[in-house]
Structure 1
Amino acid sequence: MSHFKDPPKKQLGQHFLTDRNVIDQIVRAVNPQPGDTLVEIGPGQGAITFPLLKKHGALTVIEFDRDLITPLMEVSEGHGDLTIVHKDVLKVDFGKLAGEERIRLVGNLPYNISTPILFHVLEHAESVRDMHFMLQKEVVDRMAADPGSKVFGRLSVMLQATCEVTPLFDIGPLAFRPPPKVDSAVVRLVPKPAGSIGIDDPALFESLVRNAFGQRRKTLRNAVQQLCTGDEILAAGLRPEARAEQLEVAQFIALANYLASRPAPAASL
């Protein structure tokens, strides 16, 4: 008899993975090694949790749905050492969770809040060794998109500036209960070493990218006019009449760094 009696909760974006072949594929992709610190976001009914736990022996999971916590603990007995953090993942400090060792993140991310989770994890990228996430295929396509693509946008630039993004494989709706109305995909994210990213002012970079893609039809000059002038865009080596989706990630970094290097305005008397 299953310990998990409650159906998936629509308001939490729950779609539980049930396809054994897909589960095995994900575990092989993660390939946990002795000494790894594994953390799973949203274990649900443990489809990935228990195979990982059995293979690795220890796992920390972050679960918001209190109704899943007791069944997870009960089923984990005999599989290994399971630690459950009952918390909203958007409020988890991954730096504290990591301690001395960088963590490896795994998760079937709730599709309704997957993008906020990605941005939250990016804030703690220095504490993360790699990530293997299952998301809507559309989101993975955006994450890995090249400049000039219709889906190249803020998510593409922010992730590619700080991580190596590698789509691994696609998953059809029938691998889940209930089946979602979209295809899914698994992606690997590996944070770049802090010294190789080259962003002088991360907050300014984030603001620049957000403004640039705020209204996609606008030229760069018009989209970021609150942050800089057309002459400053030119001085940074970019075309003010270009649109955001035409720029390389390195060009966004170059413009943000140019703006960060501007002298501070003189204080008025």
Structure 2
Amino acid sequence: MSARPKKSFGQHFLHEKRYIERIVSAISPREEDTMVEIGPGEGALTLPLLAAAGKLTAIELDTDLIPELQARAASVGALTIVHSDVLKVDFTALARERGVAKLRVAGNLPYYISSPILFHCVEHAGAIADMHFMLQKEVVDRMAAEPGSKVYGRLSVMLQLACRVEPLFDVPPGAFRPPPKVDSAVVRLVPLPPEQLPDADPDRLYGVVKAAFAQRRKTLSNALKQVMSVQAIEAAEIDPKARAEVLAPADFVRLARAATAQAAD
């Protein structure tokens, strides 16, 4: 199978066997797993995952790729293809339809919408056991960044409050057709158990994090002035003169709680 990659879908097809094998090994699919792949493309990951798990649901938007993928998978295992934009797929409902508590999700994500896909998956983290994604290396660096890093930001905080983020290995441009202009990396995300999730209103937390990083060189007192008062920031035991980039994810949870308390007064 050799489809023409479409720029409109951000397609870069993985083809180098040793990286395919490394990704499948990292995922380590088993027969009891309910695997879901986002953007199977030409099936480089689909077929070995399907061979190991026996069944797989693939979410594919490009109708031109589906018939050949179905044909190639017929002798390998039970492949179900959902023709949809992944941002419209309800993973929680999908797990319920499959009769399982947790899905295992994997995919080579289109770089131009990788962050929206990550946030969408996190919204359904309660129905996901783990995620293995190939992304632009710069995005993986941001996902795993620690406070004080130049690339630490909203993505870092929101993902780390929801998941354990584990960068695995880099993948060079030459492993794809056509080669992207950037390096890629594979990352593992494991949703945190309920008792480790933030004890704060999700919308309030998102609003605080978004505002804090909107102009990252501003102090918190300036960046958050539309969200909460200086007194509320101090009530969270955070220095209003600090900048967002030095705060740990847990600090934003305290700010969100303080903002909620202020709104209730």
If the TM-score is normalised by the length of the shorter chain, which range does it land in?
A: over 0.9
1:240 corresponds to which residue?
240
2:215 corresponds to which residue?
215
Q: 1:253 & 1:19 partners in 2: Cα distance?
A: 42
Of all paired residues, the percent bearing the same amino acid is 57
> 1:35 Cα shift?
1.4
RMSD: 1.0
Structure-1-length-normalised TM-score: 0.95
1:83 pairs, out of 80, 83, 86, with: 80
Q: What is the aligned residue count?
A: 262
- Within 5 Å, give how 1:53-132 maps onto structure 2: 53-99=50-96, 100-132=100-132
Q: 2:198 & 2:46 partners in 1: Cα distance?
A: 36
Q: 2:38 & 2:70 partners in 1: Cα distance?
A: 16
On the 8 A contact 2:205/2:256 being kept in 1, the answer is yes
> 1:206 Cα shift?
0.5
Matched position secondary structure for 2:52? helix
2:13 is the counterpart of 1:16:
yes
Q: 2:198 & 2:40 partners in 1: Cα distance?
A: 35
Comparing 118-127 with 141-150, greater Cα deviation is found at 118-127
Unaligned ranges ≥5, structure 2: none
Could you list the structure 1 runs, at least 4 aligned residues long, displaced by more than 4 angstroms after superposition. none
Matched position secondary structure for 2:129? strand
On the 8 A contact 2:232/2:262 being kept in 1, the answer is no
Matched position secondary structure for 2:214? coil
1:47 pairs, out of 37, 44, 60, with: 44
Unaligned ranges ≥5, structure 1: none
2:141 corresponds to which residue?
141
1:34 corresponds to which residue?
31
User: What is the identity, as a one-letter code, of the residue corresponding to 2:259?
Assistant: L
User: What is the identity, as a one-letter code, of the residue corresponding to 1:78?
Assistant: S
2:224 corresponds to which residue?
224
Q: 2:36 & 2:71 partners in 1: Cα distance?
A: 19
User: What is the identity, as a one-letter code, of the residue corresponding to 2:213?
Assistant: F
2:261 is the counterpart of 1:261:
yes
Matched position secondary structure for 1:213? helix
On the 8 A contact 2:32/2:53 being kept in 1, the answer is no
Matched position secondary structure for 1:245? helix
Matched position secondary structure for 1:237? coil
The structure whose residues are more often helix, as a share, is 2
Q: 2:211 & 2:199 partners in 1: Cα distance?
A: 17
1:165 corresponds to which residue?
165
